Chain A
Amino acid sequence: MGNLNASRRNFVKKMAALSAMTTATALFPGILFAETQRNNASTTGTLDWKKAPCRFCGVGCGVLIGIENGKAVAVKGDPNSPVNKGLCCVKGYHSIIALYGKDRLTHPLVKKNGSYVQTTMQEALDLIASKMQKTITDYGKDAVSIYGSGQWTIPDGYVASKLFKGCIGTNNVEANARLCMASAVTGFLTSFGLDEPMGCYEDIDHADIFVLWGNNMAEMHPVLFSRLLDQRLKRGAKIIDLTTRTTRTSKAADNSILFRPQTDLALANAICYELVKKGWVHRSFVEKHCSFRKGLTDMGYGLEDNYQFKDRPKKINYKDYQQFLEGYAPEKVTQLTGVSEKDIRYLATCYGDPNKKVMSFWCMGMNQHTRGTWINNLVYNIHLLTGKISTPGNSPFSLTGQPSACGTVREVGTLTHKLPHGVVMNKTHREHAAKIWGVPVENIPSKPTYHTVEMFRALDRGDIRFMWIQVTNPMVTMPKLKRYRDAAKKEQRFIVVSDVYPTPTTDIADVILPSAMWIEREGLYGNSERRTQYFEQMIPAPGEAMSDTWQMIEVAKRMGFEKQFSYQKETHIEEIYKEYTRHHEGKKHAMPPLSILKSQAGAQWPFVNGKSTQWRFNAQYDSACSNGEAFHFYGKPDGKAVIWQRPYEPAPEVPDKEFDFWLCTGRVLEHWHTGSMTRRIPVLHKAMPKAYVEVHPKDAKRLQIQTGDLVLLTSRRGTIQLPASVNERGIPEMGQVFVPFFDEDMLINELTLDAFCPISKQPDYKKCAVKVQKA
């Protein structure tokens, strides 16, 4: 009571002060308050804030960059961006520092007699063009290739595709998104016939339950995870973490359920079994909007060169599917998955409860998987069976890891089988592309050539002789690294690398081109939720550094394709974007005009009648729906989404007596991918100076390993030494170890296996067998 009295007295005092101030304003008009002062206050310094999408992951946060005297000096979150609403993560806040590393590549370097000699940009581009031409004459069109990235801006990817597929006439165009999003793409294509999520980030504000499938979102997509935490605080939403390793996400989640590597396939089927058994299937939705199919099984793992696989889907009916699920009753899979029957039923209840809106998230855990396409299909099955899809809050959401994995690789189609619109195998699609590109349709070959792993194998075999690598660091990221590094170093191979810093990939280059990075040029990115974002050039590029787009245009002109690449230097990004959007005309994929993108924090395609489409396939929001029903999965000829019968199959390499641990690789919050940018940001490098191997405390005790002790990791492909980490950032299960891949001094990919999903051709970086010894 005493307290109350005190605060009452205090309050009276304060009210008196307040009223005195109010009176003062009324009595003495000379006293300035709020607005009056705001208008008179001079602006400080010359700081100019300009908007851009973040350079790092696929979330696509809007950032505001403070420019002072031609230098980027500060970053803050863009409060007007619907993606991050003003919040960034530590990488985003410090992103501009990555522009100013002292070892920035500023001039082209050409390898002569084993050492690099500086040259001019004109000479380097001449050399590249002539080498490319000579390779084509000597070995044929399919001996030249380009390997790009999900960090390519949209114009970069577009000119690459146009130059290689349209003009030169080879499908040797790949991008590192093959290592990252290919299973998501084939998952979407097989289930819905069209790539990319139907929902958007706004689903987060509506969902009641978030299920994270092997996704350490607290570290890898921190801004989105903060949006989940915010919804939990405000609305009591639940977060369920399905994982093989205990992480920061597990600690934050309401429920963390551990499963054994690869058994997510069985777990997803078991959830479907429960949904069917308990009668939680949304009957009318399934009858109207879904069909059932099964594909080939026992597909292999692509470990051998020239491995080929083509799925042969077969129609089945609901009865067949139900019968297939019988094998996945919770009591049957609990042994295999390590998940208790109770937890499986709990998960099924979460998805099955008709009053709960559910959002599933996943990223590399499901995509970097030798059955990546299958597990993507299986999670869609859960959402389709319950009808929890394409409505606000009900959303299976495939996250991406690169700023333009969606925008450039998936939408522009910088993969061997893709075109900006459609695939090379389709004659109409080829004609459509050829017409816009201004090339004869015969130029575009109808057969895909090499996917990423096979492209590097072809380089090893000598089928490919020239490779141009842009904005990516394959000599850190390729699985079974040694084979591909040795391949690149072989005689009679010519490698061009465009990058901003020296990396292990520039080490294998014959020509190194300095690139203009991010806001040193003009460009566009497309994030995970189909949002295309524009950024202007804000600061000059250092030295002779040139945008990847312009590098390719210069080379194309030198190769005699002036007509197709007659863009003006000042306006080429606008011209290219305009040309590119012609490929996507129509209600299903119309792109927003550049003027809109310049004025706001991006827009989501299909952009129809001046509006973004937030939920595709839902007639209420998506004008491309035309069947008169509430939902229309127009990506498939019959307008129905596919529920796939996909079984559990084991991983290609499982721990045995000699190699008795599972190895899982991944990222950490502080570093982005191979660390070539983030390690040059002092605050991030100091926070996470080197890689380590996480070991379960019990295994550590048995092997007498403590945090910091050197550990020898050995797989059938290689050996590396790195310090142990016990009970720190993450705790793998017993019999498993985890190593982040950002550290070029401890290349974990020397150990990984180049097995891939036969449908998506995406390698599995999450599972192989290793031996753990104290060094």
Chain B
Amino acid sequence: MKRKGIVFLFVLLTASFITICDFSYRSGQKGAYMPLERELTSQDFYIEEGFNQEPHSAQRHSTILWDTLFQRNTKEYRQNRSFYGSPPSITHPISKEMSMGGKDCLQCHKYGGFVEKWKAYTPISPHPEMVNCRQCHVPQKSQKLFKKTHFVRGSAPESKRALLGSPPSIPHSLQMRTNCLSCHAGPSAPKEISVTHPERMHCRQCHTVNRNQGSAGNFFKRNNP
């Protein structure tokens, strides 16, 4: 009985060995064929930095419904920013004070989605690779001030058109904001700055940065130029 059991075990092991080998060989073959398939995706044509991380988001944007009922406007968008271009503060309570973004914040802020509790769409981070979120984004636990302030926000720069009918320029700096669609497309984008043609993807072919805002430059992410 015992011997039979051992033989059976060996047979089983051999069989599974063959199955696994076969499977891995086949999937290896598949893998080898993949590049051809990959060439046919649009990934390689995206030039902007943000898109390389989320190659399919543009396509997703072209297919999903925009829920205009719960869309923000720029007034609401600016409410949790001290000045134009400052990191927005966090408008909802946070349960974990110690956590890093990858495990917590980005669960919602990477892809977005509707939050029933707040009746709002989650804004998508244009720089999900930076995970120490709370380094720049802080909650607002109290509404009281320590001392009053004279600080007034400057005026928001406007988007200009070079000629009548030419594409509007980008009024803000691109630092950490190279992924245009995270703020300009989808249901979490403020109405006024939602783009009508997110599927075109290569935004900066037509829209350029205002001269005094500079380019994304030697951007933080490129540590070893």
Contact = CB atoms under 8 A, between A and B. Distances in A.
Interface string B84-106: 11110100000001111000000
B223 A85 contact: yes
Contact of A32 (B85, B163, B216): B163
B34 to A, nearest CB: 11
B208 A4 contact: no
Given A79-B217, A248-B134, A728 B146 contact: no
A88 B202 CA distance: 28
Interface of A: 4, 7-8, 10-11, 14-15, 17-18, 21, 32-38, 40-45, 47-49, 66, 68, 71, 73-77, 79-80, 84-90, 93-94, 96-97, 99-104, 205, 218, 222-223, 225-227, 229-231, 233-234, 246-248, 250-252, 501, 669-670, 675, 679-689, 727-731
B45 interface: yes
19 contacts: A7-B42, A14-B42, A17-B200, A36-B162, A38-B211, A40-B163, A42-B160, A45-B154, A73-B83, A73-B152, A77-B175, A85-B219, A86-B218, A96-B151, A99-B151, A103-B147, A230-B130, A250-B98, A686-B140
Contacts of A679: 146-147
A686 B142 contact: yes
Nearest to A204: B223
A307 to B, nearest CB: 38
Contacts of B167: 32, 37
A94 B86 contact: yes
B169 A41 contact: yes
Interface residues of B, number: 80
B26 interface: no
A748 B56 CA distance: 53
A147 B152 CA distance: 34
Contacts of B98: 246-248, 250-251, 728-731
Contacts of B118: none
B217 A80 contact: yes
The 9 closest A-B pairs by CB, nearest first: A73-B154, A79-B217, A687-B138, A222-B135, A44-B157, A38-B208, A40-B162, A100-B151, A102-B148
Interface string B182-222: 00000000000000000111101110111110101111111
A392 B33 CA distance: 42
B31 interface: no
Given A11-B41, A85-B220, A100-B151, 8 more contacts: A14-B201, A43-B210, A47-B154, A49-B214, A87-B130, A223-B135, A252-B131, A689-B146
Contacts of A684: 138
B171 interface: yes
B222 to A, nearest CB: 8
B136 interface: yes
Given A97-B151, A102-B150, A728-B97, A41 B220 contact: no
Contact of A11 (B40, B136, B219): B40
A35 B209 CA distance: 10
B166 interface: yes
A90 B80 CA distance: 13
B162 A7 contact: no
Contacts of B214: 49, 79
A226 B132 CA distance: 7
B158 interface: yes
A226 B173 CA distance: 21
A234 B82 CA distance: 32
Contacts of B163: 32, 40
A93 B176 CA distance: 13
A456 B99 CA distance: 41
Contacts of A688: 138, 141
B162 A41 contact: yes
B145 A682 contact: yes
A599 B135 CA distance: 29
Nearest to B211: A43
A669 B85 contact: no
B59 interface: yes
Contact of A74 (B154, B210, B219, B221): B154
B217 to A, nearest CB: 3
B139 interface: yes
A49 B87 CA distance: 18
B29 interface: no
A233 B129 contact: yes
B131 to A, nearest CB: 6
A688 B176 CA distance: 25
B154 A683 contact: no
B135 A669 contact: yes
Contacts of B59: 7, 10
A37 B162 contact: yes
Contacts of A80: 217-218
B155 interface: yes
Which of B89, B98, B201, B211: most chain A Cβ within 10 A? B98
Nearest to B148: A102
A229 B130 CA distance: 8
Given A86-B220, A233-B129, A226 B135 contact: yes
Interface in B111-153: 129-132, 134-153
Which of A15, A17, A44, A80: most chain B Cβ within 10 A? A44
A205 B132 contact: no
A229 B132 contact: yes
Contacts of B130: 87, 226, 229-230
A205 B37 CA distance: 35
B141 A37 contact: no
Contacts of B220: 77, 79, 84-87, 226, 230
Nearest to B139: A687
Nearest to B200: A17
Contacts of A73: 83, 152-154
A87 B136 CA distance: 9
B205 A45 contact: no
B45 A18 contact: yes
Contacts of B41: 7-8, 11
B160 A79 contact: no
Given A670-B138, A688-B141, A11 B150 contact: no
B89 A687 contact: yes
B90 to A, nearest CB: 8
A372 B6 CA distance: 65
Contact of B145 (A21, A225, A685): A685
B132 to A, nearest CB: 5
B173 to A, nearest CB: 6
B46 to A, nearest CB: 11
A141 to B, nearest CB: 39
Contacts of B154: 45, 47, 66, 68, 71, 73-74
Nearest to B163: A32
Contacts of A729: 97-98
Contacts of B85: 74, 76
Contacts of B157: 44-45, 47
Contact of B175 (A44, A86, A248, A689): A86
Interface string B51-90: 0000010010010000000000000000000111111010
B137 A90 contact: yes
B107 interface: no
A683 B136 CA distance: 11
B200 A102 contact: no
A10 B56 CA distance: 11
A37 B82 contact: no
Contacts of A252: 100, 131-132
Which of B62, B148, B149, B214: most chain A Cβ within 10 A? B149
Contacts of B176: 86-87
Contact of A97 (B142, B149, B211): B149
B147 A93 contact: no
A727 B99 CA distance: 11
Nearest to A253: B100
B166 A34 contact: no
Contacts of B201: 14
A670 B208 CA distance: 35
Nearest to A10: B59
